[in-house]
Chains A and B, each alone.
Chain A
């Protein structure tokens, strides 16, 4: 479903991604991990072309993102994305946050988008908050609304960019619960996260990055089950993160 082919990216003369290649199939739950500054967030943002790449290509559901003829907004409307800092629209109510893009981008009717939005809000357990504004919700609630907003667009794949990193510890669980449920329902997901428990339990594939390169690209069973086969850099990372 997502084919990342030999992509490289530079910020000026600084190379953030070097020759990254991987494939994500329908139904995969892929966790991208690695030390900070390793290019994980940049990699996931290149998938829906929020960050442009200078070399290589990414093909999402048959559409190349580097083809100048590609309608990027249309492609992005089919790819859900959840951000570290939620990025709900603070000037709009929760309801409007859920329906805005459905109406303006997908051209759905008000009724239809409201119905779809409320269904998704109910799914993340926040129906009773529909008239509030983002600023009136806790971080965990905002992130769940953000997930509902992305789901309202009926995406073919969901991208999560450190969805729990900005949350208070006691709110991490409620967001992960929603993500686990989503994974069990067969949603194709790509998650940048440090939640190794989630990676172990839910993902079927782990990508480990360091210094802009994909160092490990293997099944999560192998990643966590056979540490002796891992690269030294991944071993080091795992030993630091798993001892807690």
Chain B
């Protein structure tokens, strides 16, 4: 069998009609998940570090459970378990029509929050006890001390790791293919189907994921040296 690769079907029309909408959704999913996941993850981290044993337990169960289940299964389970009425409730007819896309956002946020929470936990623990004392000593409440003193430092210390996790997340979003959400990969696959090139299309898809992820990694590396707190 000879390799007979033909990429000529990848015209600007295909890019516009299939790839860009897919890329747009993948990026949207990544950014929304990152923002919501970091917020939720920070809350989980604070629960895990709280002095109340029952809060610690809930957070630990949450994190350990989600980190022990493959992402693909979580995506499928959430898709199958959340009833259609939920989507029509949050976004009406649009929600119903884009059920996989909405389901993916919810799933990824909940799933990635487990990972982000461990990163934020390490970040919070990297801030010295003395800083907490200093916050309390000037009269801050627990929440002020967290918001104004600890979390800004934790976040800065952990930003490179958070962004690296986000790059992994961007690659993982391709798994929504399993529930039929129209993401970047699905855009390629659709184009491949239309033009009857289902195999060739995987190569440029991989190349695009690589190019995006790699350049983001480089960016993180540059950012890392710029945001460090002067000590």
To the question of whether A and B form a pair in one complex, the answer is: yes
Report the separation of the CA atoms of residues A134 and B140 in the bound assembly, to the nearest whole angstrom: 20
Q: Is A193 an interface residue (CB 8 A)?
A: no
User: Does A89 contact B149, Cβ atoms closer than 8 Å?
Assistant: yes
Across-interface contacts of A149 in B (CB, < 8 A): 138
Across-interface contacts of A70 in B (CB, < 8 A): none
**Minimum Cβ distance to chain B for residue A109 (Å):** 17
Report the separation of the CA atoms of residues A50 and B130 in the bound assembly, to the nearest whole angstrom: 10
Instruction: Give chain B's interface secondary structure class.
Output: helix
Partner of A90, one of B136, B148, B230: B230
Partner of A135, one of B130, B133, B136, B229: B229
User: Does B133 contact A73, Cβ atoms closer than 8 Å?
Assistant: no
Q: Is B139 an interface residue (CB 8 A)?
A: yes
Q: Is A69 an interface residue (CB 8 A)?
A: no
**Minimum Cβ distance to chain B for residue A139 (Å):** 12
8 Å CB interface, B187-231 against A: 229-231
Q: Is A87 an interface residue (CB 8 A)?
A: yes
Number of A-B contacts (CB under 8 A): 74
**Minimum Cβ distance to chain A for residue B206 (Å):** 40
User: Does A76 contact B136, Cβ atoms closer than 8 Å?
Assistant: yes
Q: Is B98 an interface residue (CB 8 A)?
A: no
Across-interface contacts of B141 in A (CB, < 8 A): 73
User: Does A50 contact B139, Cβ atoms closer than 8 Å?
Assistant: no
8 Å CB interface, A59-105 against B: 73-74, 76-81, 83, 85, 87-91, 100-101, 104-105
Report the separation of the CA atoms of residues A50 and B149 in the bound assembly, to the nearest whole angstrom: 16
Across-interface contacts of A133 in B (CB, < 8 A): 229-230
**Minimum Cβ distance to chain B for residue A10 (Å):** 17
Interface size on B, as a range, is 20 to 34
**Minimum Cβ distance to chain B for residue A241 (Å):** 26
Per-residue contact bits, chain A 16-27, to B (CB 8 Å; 1 contact, 0 not): 000000000000
Across-interface contacts of A33 in B (CB, < 8 A): none
User: Does B137 contact A90, Cβ atoms closer than 8 Å?
Assistant: no
Interface size on A, as a range, is 20 to 34
User: Does A85 contact B130, Cβ atoms closer than 8 Å?
Assistant: yes
**Minimum Cβ distance to chain B for residue A116 (Å):** 13
Q: Is B152 an interface residue (CB 8 A)?
A: yes
Report the separation of the CA atoms of residues A90 and B152 in the bound assembly, to the nearest whole angstrom: 10
Q: Is A4 an interface residue (CB 8 A)?
A: no
Q: Quick one: which of A80, A87, A136, A150 has the most chain B CB within 10 A? A: A87
Chain B residues engaging chain A, CB cutoff 8 angstroms? 128, 130-131, 133-134, 136-141, 144, 148-149, 152-153, 156, 229-231
Interface pairs A-B: 5 shortest CB-CB: A77-B139, A135-B230, A87-B134, A101-B138, A81-B137
Chain A residues engaging chain B, CB cutoff 8 angstroms? 45, 48, 50, 73-74, 76-81, 83, 85, 87-91, 100-101, 104-106, 133-136, 149-150, 153
Q: List 12 A-B contacts (CB under 8 A).
A: A45-B133, A76-B137, A81-B133, A87-B130, A87-B131, A87-B134, A89-B149, A90-B153, A106-B139, A134-B230, A135-B229, A149-B138
Beyond A50-B137, A76-B139, A106-B139, 11 extra complex contacts between A and B, CB < 8 Å: A73-B144, A78-B139, A79-B137, A87-B128, A87-B130, A89-B153, A101-B138, A101-B140, A133-B229, A134-B230, A153-B138
